[in-house]
Amino acid sequence: MAHLTTEVNYAQRLHQAFEERSARIAVMGLGYVGLPLALAFAEAGFSVYGVDPDLAKCRAIARGESYVGDVSSERVAEVVREGRLHAQPAPDVLAQADAVIICVPTPLSKPKTQIFPILFRRQKA
């Protein structure tokens, strides 16, 4: 019974964190799906940590620049300036996230290799 109580308490705390916009969101993959999603959460007041192995994307976000046609650089710059959107290639921020959203291509490349290898790497908890 104690295990169930712990799970209920965790669920209540998580629900409250989302209502208060204090939940930390991680978005894996900052392409044409991930960047707009990360931006929407950041604009809604959440702290968002984007993870993408493409260092050029991470650097563009840090400069407040968009590389996605549907997303203006002004919107990215605003949430970066306010400290609500961060991007990095390393997945270590996932351990601190309250929610992780995976936005990566699902198909495999021609030689059947993984497109987003950190999803499949064993991480230390």
Per-residue model confidence as pLDDT tens digits over 14-37 = 999 999 999 999 999 999 999 999
- What pLDDT sits at residue 105? 76
> Which H or E element spans position 24?
strand 24-28
Nearest alpha-carbon partner for 50 in 32, 63, 62, 38: 38
pLDDT at residue 125, as a whole number: 44
pTM, 2 dp:
0.81
Chain segment 81-115, per-residue pLDDT in tens? 999 999 999 999 999 999 999 998 766 556 655 55
| Other C-beta atoms lying within 10 Å of the C-beta of residue 70 | 9
The CATH code of domain 2-119 reads 3.40.50.720
Amino acid, res. 80: V
Report yes or no: 104 and 26 within 8 Å, Cβ to Cβ: no
* Averaged confidence pLDDT in the chain: 87
Instruction: Tell me the pLDDT tens digit for each residue of 50-76.
Output: 999 999 999 999 999 999 999 999 999
Contacts (Cβ under 8 Å, ≥6 apart) of 73: 64, 65, 66
Question: What is the C-alpha to C-alpha distance for residues 115 and 49, in angstroms, rounded to an integer?
Answer: 20
Above pLDDT 90, what percent of the chain? 72
pLDDT in the model for residue 67: 97
The distance of Cα 1 from the centroid of its chain, to the nearest Å, equals 34
Q: Where are the domains of the chain?
A: 2-119
